[in-house]
Amino acid sequence: MQLIFFFALLVALGIIGASAENSTETPRNETTHVQTSGVVTNIAYFHLLACFALAKHENPLDSLLKLTLEVSLAPGAKARAEECPTERRISSTHNLTEFFLVSEVQKHNLTKSARKRLRENEKDWPEVDPMARIVQAAFYTDKPEMALDKETYDEREDLGYTVNGYFSFACDMANCKDDGKKKAIIVCHMTRGVPPQKRVISKAEYERRYGPVEPKADSGAAHVPLLVSMILVVRALF
């Protein structure tokens, strides 16, 4: 009897453990994506400012660059990066400006100060893509030109000239290989204009519009009645 009871207890605990594991898997993956996007968007932000300052604008007094982060643009940039467009280029269609930043920097190429920064990144951002951490370490130390390779003066000037005005933007990256070399492909999507500010409504107003909010049941607690029922059944049989 004790053996059957112990077996039933193990089965119930296994159900609870599997449910808890499944409930935590998706948020962790989502967090990884958001963190990596944030790192490469930050790199692109300062790169854009440098390119804009380098560009020869027709009327410098009327030239400006105002960037607003818009996270809804990141998934499209991620999908584009996964196509591995290894040729650096800028394109503008309708309201969307798209540009690619390519990096071949590897861990063994980093300088002493960059390697120190990389160790800090590995500790602070364990969920961020390893290649993104390497590019970030190179970009923010004494060798920023290592991060975005083979970018000519004219390419930076063209990018700085294209992005003139108010933009909402976000970036993401993918790891690709070209001729056997691992590359980080960073794609940024920019739309002209600042998005309207999102209005936050209260819980009372939300429930008035859409109905009451159902409380989320705890995945572990949801199986406690099942465990108790199994114990009672085993006791009743024996």
What pLDDT is attached to residue 237? 46
The pLDDT profile of the chain, 238 residues, written as one tens digit per residue, is 544 444 444 444 444 344 444 443 333 344 445 689 999 999 999 999 988 988 888 887 778 889 999 999 999 999 999 998 877 778 887 788 899 999 988 888 899 999 999 999 999 998 899 999 999 999 998 777 788 877 777 888 888 888 888 899 999 999 998 888 888 999 999 998 876 666 777 878 778 878 887 776 554 544 444 444 444 444 444 4
Cβ–Cβ < 8 Å for 14, 221: no
- Give the per-residue pLDDT at 91: 82
SS3 177: strand
Ranges of each domain in the chain = 2-197
Q: What is the pLDDT of residue 25?
A: 38
Give the three-class secondary structure for 176: strand
Q: What's residue 174's pLDDT?
A: 94
Taking the whole predicted model, whether its pTM rises above 0.85 is answered as no
The C-alpha atoms of residue 114 and residue 117 are separated, in whole angstroms, by 5
Residue 5 identity (one-letter amino acid): F
